[in-house]
């Protein structure tokens, strides 16, 4: 479970920001909104969902991209980044030579961990991992570079880090300046590092780009094989259209080739997996009896296609208690469907294992007290090219205050600063109509 994500000098965010999923005292309880972390060292219950609001181009998506970069650094830096290729980090445009910081606090197997690193575009300067058993901070390791007064490969190892010092030193020597020690140690099955690596790799599911055919294929494969998540997947899809009565999935006899440009360097087993996901034929049944008709997936609305693609991921995340991060949750969806997806994460029956949903949205309907607590609502605002992330709980609000109305009036910021008409008029007035 994710407790918080902190980042600084990342994309449009020049300053330190923290997205926290630690619950505050609410003015109104929402059944199922809280997750009992059951962690030694936990600061209290965590939130099952968090929504990020803000105008277009404010930087909402950049919060998710910063988290996505963090995941990529952990999962890809060792084996997929070129030794001389830098860290692939994108700092703020006006702070290109300054370091960036990324840090998460998460709860894994009942223990809270804090892991992060500081870097520039060329190399990692610091990296740290701490555990909090019994609410006491314990150092596992802290890596330093020459920029902070140590030799380039200096790492302080805590006595609570599993394994021998000989192994730790071997991992240290094999850690490149543009790769992470945690990734190296995890490859050698070091216990704590493997635990954190596995959380990033398996439990952090991030969807920023639109869902594609491979997401459809994953849903089709699970439905065709009648997996244990099939009933929930079907219920999510059927809820998207009241006239939809059933879904039929069958394997196609045709050979499916993966010839996408991005797949050229893909391992053969992964190419086979993608091909497997693309070989299904899907049709939807509508109506009953003489009024029944069937249409293929390709003829469905964009909204139903998105629900179909997303349903398998949602079901698996709920089943395994993972974290799902989605950009523009309501895109192509009816607001009622978006709210239902949020409610799935805030229902102990459908979310028994503490799964979490983090999403960006423009859907003000979710600001209702029936859907989100006030500590679940976040805003992003940009001024002069600098984005800032802040919480609704930073404002003093009355218990009976209409948050939806207040947001639309601009009480909490994070709304367009001027109308389209005003922008057009300003553009026209500044235009010089004289001939050249």
What's the number of CA atoms in the CB half-sphere (13 Å) around residue 305? Answer: 15
Tens of pLDDT along 335-366?
888 999 999 999 999 999 999 999 999 999 99
- Sign, CA dihedral 190-195-196-201, equals positive
Q: Please state the rounded mean pLDDT for residues 238-265.
A: 74
Lowest-confidence range among 135-139, 217-221, 271-275?
A: 271-275
Alpha-carbon gap, residue 321 to 381, rounded angstroms: 31
Q: Residue 365: count other Cβ atoms within 10 Å of its Cβ.
A: 14
Q: What is the CATH number of the domain that holds 336?
A: 3.40.50
Q: Which structural domain, as residue segments, surrounds residue 125?
A: 1-208+327-421
Q: Is the pLDDT of residue 202 over 50?
A: yes
pLDDT score, position 368: 86
Spatial distance between the Cα atoms of 219 and 213, rounded to a whole number of angstroms: 10
Residue 431: inside a domain, yes or no?
no
Q: pLDDT: is 201 or 273 the higher one?
A: 201
- Report the domain count for the chain: 2
Q: What is the pLDDT of residue 256?
A: 53
The pLDDT value given to residue 150: 47
Average pLDDT in the 35-61 region?
87
pLDDT averaged over the chain?
88
Residue 173 clears pLDDT 90, i.e. is over it: yes
Q: Which residues of 69-99 are buried (b: 16+ CB within 10 A; e: fewer)?
A: bbbbbbbebbeebeeeeebbbbbbeebeeeb
On whether residue 430 sits in a domain, the answer given is: no
37 and 111 fall within a common domain: yes
Between helices 230-238 and 213-224, what is the axis angle to 10°?
Answer: 120
Q: What is the dihedral of CA 328, 333, 338, 344, to 10 degrees?
A: -110
Q: How confident is the model at residue 149 (pLDDT cuts 50, 70, 90)?
A: very low
pLDDT tens, position by position, 294-313 = 999 999 988 899 899 999 99
Domain boundary among 274, 300, 319: 319
Classify residue 337: in a domain, yes or no.
yes
* pLDDT tens readout for residues 85-144: 999 999 999 999 999 999 999 999 999 999 999 999 999 999 999 999 988 999 999 999
Does 434 reside within a domain? no
- 228 and 342 in a common domain: no
Boundary (domain end) residue, out of 295, 319, 343: 319
Q: How far apart are CA 140 and CA 115, in angstroms?
A: 10
pLDDT for 43 beyond 80:
no
416: pLDDT strictly greater than 90 = no
Please tell me whether residues 225 and 202 are part of one structural domain: no
The Cα 10–Cα 178 span in angstroms is: 17
Give the mean pLDDT of 62-69: 98
* pLDDT at residue 74, as a whole number: 98
pTM over 0.85: yes
Does 266 score more than 70 pLDDT? Answer: no
Mark whether 347 and 256 lie in a shared domain: no
What distance in Å separates the CA atoms of residue 246 and residue 294, rounded to the nearest whole number? 9
Q: Which residue has the tokens 């939809």?
A: 244
Q: Please give the share of the chain, as a percent, with pLDDT higher than 70.
A: 84
Neighbours of 303 (CB within 10 A): 16
Query: Which of 287, 319, 351 is a domain's end point?
Result: 319
């Amino acid at each position: 479970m994710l407790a918080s994500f902190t980042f600084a000098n990342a994309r449009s965010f020049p300053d330190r920001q923290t997205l926290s999923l630690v619950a505050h005292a609410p003015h109104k309880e929402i059944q199922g909104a809280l997750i009992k972390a059951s962690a030694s060292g936990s600061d209290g219950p965590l939130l099952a969902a968090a929504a990020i609001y803000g105008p277009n181009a404010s930087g909402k998506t950049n919060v998710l991209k910063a988290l996505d970069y963090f995941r990529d650094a952990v999962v890809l830096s060792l084996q997929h980044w070129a030794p001389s290729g830098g860290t692939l980090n994108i700092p703020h445009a006006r702070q290109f030579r300054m370091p960036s910081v990324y840090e998460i606090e998460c709860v894994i197997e009942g223990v809270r961990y804090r892991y992060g690193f500081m870097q520039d575009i060329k190399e990692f300067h610091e990296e740290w991992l701490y555990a909090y058993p019994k609410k006491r901070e314990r150092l596992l390791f802290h890596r330093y570079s020459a920029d902070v007064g140590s030799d380039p490969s200096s790492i302080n190892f805590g006595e609570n880090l599993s394994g021998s010092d000989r192994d730790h030193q071997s991992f240290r020597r094999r850690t490149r300046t543009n790769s992470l020690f945690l990734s190296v140690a995890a490859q050698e099955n070091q216990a704590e590092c493997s635990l954190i690596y596995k959380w990033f790799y398996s439990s952090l599911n991030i969807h920023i780009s639109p869902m594609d055919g491979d997401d459809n294929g994953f849903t089709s494969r699970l439905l065709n094989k009648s997996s244990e998540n099939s009933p929930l997947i079907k219920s999510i899809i059927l809820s998207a259209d009241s006239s939809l009565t059933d879904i039929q999935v069958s394997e196609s006899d045709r050979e499916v080739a993966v010839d996408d440009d991005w797949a050229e360097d893909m391992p053969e087993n992964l190419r086979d997996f993608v091909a497997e996901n693309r070989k299904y034929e899907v049709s939807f049944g509508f109506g009953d009896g003489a009024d029944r008709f069937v249409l293929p997936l390709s003829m469905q609305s964009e909204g139903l296609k998105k629900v179909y693609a997303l349903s398998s991921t949602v079901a698996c995340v709920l089943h395994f208690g993972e974290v799902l991060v989605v950009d523009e949750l309501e895109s192509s969806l009816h607001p009622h469907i978006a709210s239902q997806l949020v409610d799935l994460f805030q229902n102990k029956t459908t979310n028994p294992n503490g799964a979490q949903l983090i999403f960006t949205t423009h859907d003000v309907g979710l600001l209702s007290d029936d859907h989100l607590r006030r500590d679940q609502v976040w805003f992003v605002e940009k001024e002069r090219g600098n984005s800032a992330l802040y919480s609704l709980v930073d404002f003093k609000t009355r218990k009976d205050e209409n948050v939806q109305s207040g947001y639309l009036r601009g009480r909490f910021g994070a709304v367009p600063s001027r109308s389209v008409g005003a922008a057009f008029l300003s553009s026209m007035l500044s235009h010089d109509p004289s001939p050249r």
